[in-house]
């Protein structure tokens, strides 16, 4: 596959990644939240914090059920932590 940078390419990749991982929920519902938390982590901490932070959000959300609300709750916790991190 060629490198693409369009939203449809992201949607296509998410569908394929879900298929590969056996995930049946639609991650596109959480994509804007995850992209926001990744950007905030990269700019607040250091750039490599972005993928690790989103992994941790997914891990935390998955451990309590993995619903969209579980993802949103984990993102809110991280954003609050990043806010505190900025002001320390």
- Please give the average per-residue pLDDT across 59-67, as a whole number: 94
- How far apart are the C-alpha atoms of 55 and 38, rounded to whole Å? 10
CB atoms within 10 A of CB 47: 10
In a domain, 63, yes or no: yes
pLDDT one-digit tens code per residue, 23-49? 887 777 778 889 999 999 999 999 999
pLDDT-based confidence at residue 18 (cuts at 50, 70, 90): confident
Cβ 34 vs Cβ 25: under 8 Å = no
Rg (CA), the chain: 14
Domain count of the fold of the chain = 1
pLDDT one-digit tens code per residue, 1-16? 445 556 788 888 888 9
In a domain, 20, yes or no: no
Report pLDDT for 4.
53
In a domain, 7, yes or no: no
3-state helix, strand, coil in the chain (%, to 5): 75, 0, 25
What domain range is 56 assigned to? 26-87
């Amino acid at each position: 596959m060629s490198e693409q940078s369009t939203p449809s390419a992201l949607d296509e990749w998410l569908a394929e990644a879900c298929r590969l991982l056996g995930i049946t929920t639609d991650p596109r519902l959480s994509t804007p939240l995850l992209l926001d938390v990744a950007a905030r982590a990269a700019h607040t901490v250091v750039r490599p914090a972005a993928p690790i932070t989103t992994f941790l959000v997914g891990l935390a959300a998955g451990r309590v059920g993995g619903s969209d609300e579980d993802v949103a709750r984990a993102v809110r916790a991280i954003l609050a932590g990043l806010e505190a991190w900025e002001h320390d």
